[in-house]
A and B are shown apart, each in its own frame.
Chain A
Amino acid sequence: KAGVTQTPRYLIKTRGQQVTLSCSPISGHRSVSWYQQTPGQGLQFLFEYFSETQRNKGNFPGRFSGRQFSNSRSEMNVSTLELGDSALYLCASSGLNKDSYNEQFFGPGTRLTVL
């Protein structure tokens, strides 16, 4: 099975712009979670989608949003970019079956740099 894929891998934007990141989960996985990783704050949970519905949300401002499509692919959007949004954004998918419950498989991440 192919792993979790994220596009693009690297992105450079300027303050005030908006950005959309994409995540394709492992085939058959219906849960997709997003995390932000920075040197200062570490790994922080952004949100989780299941069957096109946001099921859990972390403590991030409304500039961070996401969605999930019927094929389980997910996108996250950050509007009005700030310098502090520079980070590695990681996507993880989960199959939610009895044997792999809560086992999340991570993609390689998208490195966002805001100038």
Chain B
Amino acid sequence: AQSVTQLGSHVSVSEGALVLLRCNYSSSVPPYLFWYVQYPNQGLQLLLKYTSAATLVKGINGFEAEFKKSETSFHLTKPSAHMSDAAEYFCAVSPGNFGNEKLTFGTGTRLTIIP
């Protein structure tokens, strides 16, 4: 079975500092990996996705993630944090085969930005 582990349920960074949110996956087959963001009282918004095309994936709002097979990781980064980045972030994995749309999510990381 596939799974993802997010290290750190809460992360605080200063405005302008580097954002690093960690995600490790477990999968016996090449996975599809995703990062979603959730703002209070809202649904999930896709930040970026890895579907085996390129290992460095750029997403919206200045975020990017690098797929590292040797480390089974897919960490999310942003060079300079902005106050509007405060939200909860979820890493997710999908089997990637047609007909199976199930996403398995990590437990989430709440990002706080310190002014």
Chain B, interface SS category: loop
Q: Does A64 contact B (CB under 8 A)?
A: no
Task: Tell me whether A56 and B44 are in contact (CB under 8 A).
Answer: no
B25 to chain A, nearest CB (A): 15
Tell me which residues from 66 to 115 in chain B have a Cβ below 8 Å from any Cβ of chain A: 90, 92, 94, 96, 98-108
How many residues belonging to B are interface residues under a CB distance threshold of 8 Å? 25
Chain B interface (Cβ < 8 Å from any Cβ of A)? 32, 36, 41-46, 49, 51, 90, 92, 94, 96, 98-108
Not counting A43-B92, A92-B44, a sample of 7 additional A-B residue pairs whose C-beta atoms are within 8 angstroms of each other reads: A31-B101, A42-B106, A50-B99, A96-B101, A103-B46, A104-B101, A109-B43
Residues of A within 8 A of B103 (CB): 33, 35, 43, 45, 92, 104
Q: Can you pick out 28 interface pairs between chain A and chain B where the beta carbons lie within 8 Å of each other?
A: A33-B101, A35-B103, A42-B105, A42-B106, A42-B107, A43-B103, A43-B108, A44-B105, A45-B102, A48-B101, A48-B102, A50-B99, A50-B101, A56-B102, A92-B44, A94-B101, A96-B98, A101-B51, A101-B98, A102-B49, A102-B96, A102-B101, A103-B46, A104-B46, A106-B43, A107-B43, A108-B42, A109-B42
B52 to chain A, nearest CB (A): 11
Among A58, A108, A109, point to the contact of B102 (Cβ < 8 A).
A58
Among A42, A56, A90, A104, point to the contact of B100 (Cβ < 8 A).
A56
Task: Tell me whether B99 and A55 are in contact (CB under 8 A).
Answer: yes
- Chain A, Cβ-Cβ closest to B43: A106
With contact pairs A101-B98, A102-B32 given, residues A108 and B43 touching in the complex (Cβ less than 8 Å): yes
